[in-house]
Amino acid sequence: MTQAQIQETANFPVRIDEPGARKWRDYFTFNTDHKVIGIQYLVTSFIFYCIGGVLADLVRTELRTPEVDFVSPEVYNSLFTLHATIMIFLWIVPAGAGFANYLIPLMIGAKDMAFPRLNAVAFWMIPVGGLLLVASLAVGDAPDAGWTSYPPLSLVTGQVGEGIWIMSVLLLGTSSILGAINFLVTLIKMRTPGMGVHQMPLFCWAMFATSALVLMSTPVLAAGLILLAFDLLAGTTFFNPTGGGDPVVYQHMFWFYSHPAVYIMILPFFGAISEIIPIHSRKPIFGYKAIAYSSLAISFLGLIVWAHHMFTSGIPGWLRMFFMITTMIIAVPTGIKIFSWLATMWGGKIQLNSAMLFAIGFVGTFVIGGISGVMLAAVPFDIHVHDTYFVVAHLHYVLFGGSVLGIFAAIYHWFPKMTGRMFNEFWGKVHFALTIVGLNMTFLPMHKLGMMGMNRRVAQYDPKFTLLNEICTYGAYILAVSTFPFIINAIWSWMYGEKAGNNPWRALTLEWMTTSPPAIENFDGFPVLATGPYDYGLERANEGVPLSDPNPLLSAGPNSVLRADPDEPYPTIESDLEQRVSGNKD
Amino acid sequence: MQSQTIDPAKTELNHHHSTATVGHHEEHPDHRLFGLFVFLVAEGMIFLGLFGAYLAFRSTLPVWPPAGTPELELLLPGVNTVNLIASSFVMHNADTAIKKNDARGARIWLAITAAMGAIFLVGQVYEYTHLEFGLTTNLFASAFYVLTGFHGLHVTIGVLAIVAVLWRSRVPGHYSNEKHFGIEAAEIYWHFVDVIWIILFGLLYLL
């Protein structure tokens, strides 16, 4: 082969699983690079967020007036069922997996995930499962028994749609189990030499707890869905009382996954917020170990509280007592995190950029969701507001006010690392303002609606609820509008944004110690730790992080790139370059 | 977008070169073995879910199995159980043999295990065709077929895995005392399937 031929061959991917992305087209291939997979996860899940959001706005449009006047009740049932299923299984859970895929190997100084091909397989199950679900709308028999799919209701409504729902959720669940296996093995086995568990960034701790939870709970949902599929398709009666079955057993199996699922949906973003707040407050994190262990405590407690969703299912009183107490105890580790974040911000040099605004918004709205959660844990109150809009308000404050704001905070924070470019801050703040207003306008009135007795999952309601429902609906429209500045800003910044440099935030975790975006296999050799991940403003933080095998790109003045002086805000690109040049002279 | 900052020295042909010499991530048997154990935790949780559901159904009904369910014959499944437990020991011999670099011995033991697994499956199908109840007869019958069927699926996967390992070991030196992840993985999976069957047998036939 001539030199020219070798060159030519080198410009084309030789194998379909060649790692790394060179062109945008590479994001549509079966790629094994964890960074490509991470971005595939994030972009795919964001597309499903938009689809789920459109469905939500259709639901709210129907609810703007008390009458059924926009869609038929059957279509309405499908709309809210698909909205919930898509938002949970195709937006929040995969978005968490996306960040984990992108960040875990970088944060622990590994070249890739433990099983790169398994990783790619896990990702490609998401679009397949998602398309399956969305396609059910096209066949005109979408699932319409709610995202919980409780039998016997789910057995008597549309069979095709329910079958599609089961297949799709099984596929998405398999994907998240495979992802969790990968994260666990990577975190346990592939940390850079010298990184003990107590040098791991908190996002890694959070993903460890999340993955353990996925591993324990998702298979039980799979078991429940297998039995449900037999009931639906083969005529067995596991959950059908007419044949001696017991629908409450399904509820146990479903909630054994789906309650932990709320922690699967929030823990990764607890982790992300624990990264974002110290960096943008220029202070060491308060209570590193407390935050790390509280993630584990939440994931353990999360496994033993599921029946608080079933207080009205006729389970015995002593059991309700047990689940009430364990549920309330979860507020303790969660509170530890909240107080640690507040203590971290206390007296810090807070940089109010988009990432930090979303992080602060996260803490604020999540606290509201958490408080209504403790209220719902109390059996008498839960029975009073069971299946009302109070529950809807609570879960949206936790999932939108928590997870979704956390996702956006994380996107703004790691965008420079992922793309090598800065976000436009002004439009980021516009996005934040619209989101916060829309979110509270949509979900705050729902508390009141629930207390007044408006049922969830109804298309028609008492006219006395009209005003509050109108406010909710217009809030939902604002939320829809709020995504446009984000989408346009993300695309524009990715293409033309200001160059970010390796470490625009002067952070100390390892993902910032490589190029932006990182090259294939991330680091040359193993990065060596010189500081803890959050030692901002401490003397030894100025030492930087030397590398065992220095790459000119990485070691161009680690002192200047990595310095985290508490009195110094973020560097400009110019000053960064200046410092690097002067650092090289030394 | 990432193309702009990729270090050319690390990509393309050079990349292949470096991975070939340094060793690719696929060549870390310790990670794969650990990954298999983590995977089996997930598998175990599926079975735990099914066992839990079975016990829940059992506890909600006053009579179990529901009145009119024909008595289960114990002889054939009993023989099958002994066969499966024995096959676990046979499988272990394959692992021991390859660790002594005895590839031929390993192949023989693998072949015997696969055959014993196949006999188990044939026995199960034979039992299915001779049972006096069907999938939808009653709750016990449904649970019986779904649980044993789901386990049978896992036995099938185990047999296929052993056959795959056997097929690969036709190349001399493919497995040795230093490199035998395939055999070890098939063995661990086979033991797992065996343990699940013992619990299942106790639950469905004896309890």
Please tell me the predicted confidence (pLDDT) of residue A8.
52
Residue the block writes with tokens 């604002």: A478
Q: Which of B116, B99, B108 has the alpha carbon at shortest distance from B181?
A: B99
Nearest neighbour of A215 by CB, restricted to B13, B41, B47: B41
Which of the pair, B203 or A508, is modelled with greater confidence?
A: B203
Residue with tokens 């069907």: B134
Are A433 and A462 in contact, with CB atoms under 8 Å apart? no
Most confident of the following: A65-69, A279-283, A404-408, A540-544: A404-408
Q: Which of A454, A474, A450 is nearest to A463 (CA)?
A: A454
CB contact at 8 A, B200 and B147: yes
pLDDT tens, A494-543? 999 999 888 888 888 889 888 888 988 888 777 877 677 887 766 544 44
What is the per-residue DSSP string for A325-391? HHHHHTHHHHHHHHHHHHHHHTT------HHHHHHHHHHHHHHHHHHHHHHHHSHHHHHHHTTBHHH
Residue B27 contacts A, CB cutoff 8 Å: no
Least confident range of A106-115, A143-152, A555-564, B128-137: A555-564
Among B12, B142, B146, select the one facing A10 at the smallest CB separation: B12
Q: Is the peptide bond before A380 cis (omega within 30 degrees of 0)?
A: no
As for the ipTM of the complex, it is 0.86
Is residue A221 pLDDT above 80, yes or no? yes
Q: What's residue B207's pLDDT?
A: 81
Q: Nearest by CB to A253, from B2, B28, B53: name it.
A: B53
pLDDT per residue as tens digits for the range B87-98:
999 999 999 999
pLDDT at position A248: 93
Domain ranges of chain A: 28-510, 524-585
Mean pLDDT of chain A: 87
CB pairs under 8 A between A and B: 153
Q: Which residues of chain B have a CB within 8 Å of the CB of A182?
A: 35
Among the residue ranges A27-36, A151-160, A460-469, the one predicted with the least confidence is A151-160
At A374, list the tokens: 């403790």
- Confirm whether pTM is higher than 0.90: no
Question: Are A164 and A158 within 8 A, CB to CB?
Answer: no
Out of A352-361, A390-399, B42-51, B64-73, least confident range: B64-73
- Residue A230 with chain B: CB contacts under 8 Å: 135, 142, 146
Looking at CA atoms only, how far is residue B82 from chain A in angstroms? 27
Residue A149, sorted as left (phi over 0), alpha (psi -120 to 50) or beta, turns out to be: left
- Higher-pLDDT residue of A388 and A11 is A388
- Cβ proximity of A129 and A146 under 8 Å: no
CB contact (8 A) between residue B45 and residue A217: yes
Contact flag B46-A494 (C-beta cutoff 8 Å): no
For residue A17, pLDDT over 70 is answered with: no
Alpha-helix runs per DSSP H in B61-131: 75-99, 103-130
3 state DSSP class of A499: strand
pLDDT of residue A537: 65
Nearest to A392 by CA among A83, A93, A173: A83
Cβ atoms of residues A243 and B139 within 8 Å:
yes
Which of A19-28, A155-164, A519-528, B49-58 is most confident?
A: B49-58
pLDDT at A156 over 80: yes
Shortest alpha-carbon distance between residue A446 and chain B (Å): 35
pLDDT at res. B18 = 37
Residues of A in contact with B135 (CB under 8 A): 230, 234-236
Q: What is the pLDDT of residues A403-451, one digit of tens each?
A: 999 999 999 999 999 999 999 999 999 999 999 999 999 999 999 999 9
- Give pLDDT, residue A157: 79
Q: Which token pair is A581? A: 């040049």
Average pLDDT over residues A562-580: 43
pLDDT at B52 over 70: yes
In this structure, which topology does domain A28-510 adopt according to CATH? Cytochrome C Oxidase; Chain A (1.20.210)
Shortest CA distance from A230: residue in chain B: B146
Rounded Cα distance, A126 and A224, in Å: 20
B55 in A contact zone (CB under 8 Å)? no
Angle between helix A202-233 and B139-168 (nearest 10): 120
Sign of CA dihedral A34, A40, A43, A49: negative
Query: Is B139–A245 a contact, with Cβ atoms under 8 angstroms apart?
Result: yes
**Which residues of B, range 123-182, sit inside 8 Å of A by Cβ?**
135-136, 138-139, 142-143, 146, 150
Per-residue confidence at B199, pLDDT binned at 50, 70, 90? Answer: very high
Nearest to A235 among B3, B44, B136 (CB): B136
